[in-house]
Amino acid sequence: MGITDPDTYMRGVPYEELARLRRESPVVRVDDFWAVLRHADVRRVLRDPALFSSQLGGTQIRDAADLAYVRRMMLNMDPPEHGRLRGLLTKAFTPRAVAKLTSQIESRARSLVAEVADRGECDFAQVAADLPLRTLAAVFGVPEQDRRLMYDWSNRVIGYQDAEYAVSATVSPAEVTGLARAALAVRPSPGPDGAMPDPRTRAGMPDLYAYANALGEYKRSHPGDDVMSALMRNVGDDGARVSLAEFENLFWLFSVAGNETLRNGLPGGLLALLSHPEQYRRLREDRSLLPSAVEEMLRWWTPVMHFRRTAVAGVRLSDVDIRAGDKVVVWFTGANRDPEVFEDPDVFDIARTPNDHLTFGHGPHFCLGAQLARVQLRAMFAAVLDLPGFMELAGEPVRLRSNFQNGLKSLPIRWAR
């Protein structure tokens, strides 16, 4: 089993194998691509879209079935198109905008933890999953009762290699708005072979796109102070505005990427704490360490493990010759444990500083929602640290079968009541 085999990740990220490969060569041939494992090389690739393109082949290792459509997604764009779309969204993620949301996020986190506090146990992966859903619903103007749609969409897209997540359908039509019921009516079902249509094509997610269009039209006539309303003011056929296809794919990106990364970062961070009880006690006793603890959780449990670029021209990277058209895959789980950057990289240290992890990427595609994610992590762990007694694992964590997202499907914990 290699670093691309999703079954490998059922047991955990193969850090020893990544370190061995990095020692042999920081840029190493794996399957049909170059794996970039060194921190400095990952930064170089990500900050140079003119040489390492997101658009030529998309950002996933496997080639897209519908590349023309995938290229309309901001994640898979190069300048100048990427900057044009990103510019429409930046106002939603400025420090001032995030600051306005902070008290709401802290209140939601405390409420979610309070709902289970008296039970003395819970599946933290399920409790934590609701915080990014509620936050996204507020930011993007999705009615809160429809937020679980994003849970299912994320499961199907990110968890396509996992038999359970690939067919996720947890939302009942009785629980949601009329907009959502219409979308659920076209939700795909497994075929005779049990397989779902490819979720990385437009045809594979008809319910998501139906909902995006219906909600967009509603926001056009009932605008609010949210991202969807702002986007609809810019959707049109002229080249200066956002095309309908671009709008649909932006909604896809919000619903999936905006949810999934944090949803796995939260239980991953808690598992890191519970696996290092001395660090957990240290954080309980000194809450001023919470910001640096969150950064170390992000480094230690890197939710998105890799992204692809495609070489535009021949280039030399760490003494390796890469040809035009080659797949170049930056491996964040390797870069975030690079001993050239992180002292004792395999030690979990909540006071680590500096902590130049690459969990949110680097360069023009640096994660727009990074600060929003940090606020949610701090809020949830502040609430969790207030639980009485000491938390401990109450069963075996269940990992997501995926070579892309470092995910936890279940994290049973318990504490003294």
Judged on CB neighbours under 10 Å (0-12, 13-18, 19+), 105 is buried
Mean pLDDT estimate for the chain:
92
Tokens of 10: 């059922």
**Of the candidates 93, 103, 171, the residue with the CA atom closest to the CA atom of residue 139:** 93
Residue 314, SS3? coil
Residue 41 reports pLDDT greater than 60: yes
216 or 78, higher pLDDT: 78
Q: Tell me the residue type at 299.
A: R
Give DSSP secondary structure letters for 16-48: HHHHHHHHH-SEEEETTEEEE-SHHHHHHHHT-
For the segment 374-392, the average pLDDT, to the nearest whole number, is 94
Taking the mean position of all CA atoms in its chain, how far away is CA 273? 20
List the Cα angle 158/163/167 in 5-degree steps: 70
Judged on CB neighbours under 10 Å (0-12, 13-18, 19+), 305 is buried
| Domains along the sequence of the chain with CATH | 6-415 (1.10.630.10)
Residue-wise pLDDT for 92-148, tens only, equals: 888 888 898 999 999 999 999 999 999 999 999 999 999 999 999 998 899 999 999
Residue-wise pLDDT for 271-306, tens only, equals: 999 999 999 999 999 999 999 999 999 999 999 999
pLDDT band at 60 (very low <50, low <70, confident <90, very high): very high
Rounded to whole angstroms, the Cα distance separating 152 from 140 reads 17
The number of residues making up the chain comes to 417
Percent of the chain with pLDDT over 70: 98
Rounded to whole angstroms, the Cα distance separating 153 from 143 reads 16
For the segment 60-66, the average pLDDT, to the nearest whole number, is 89
The pTM of this model reads 0.94
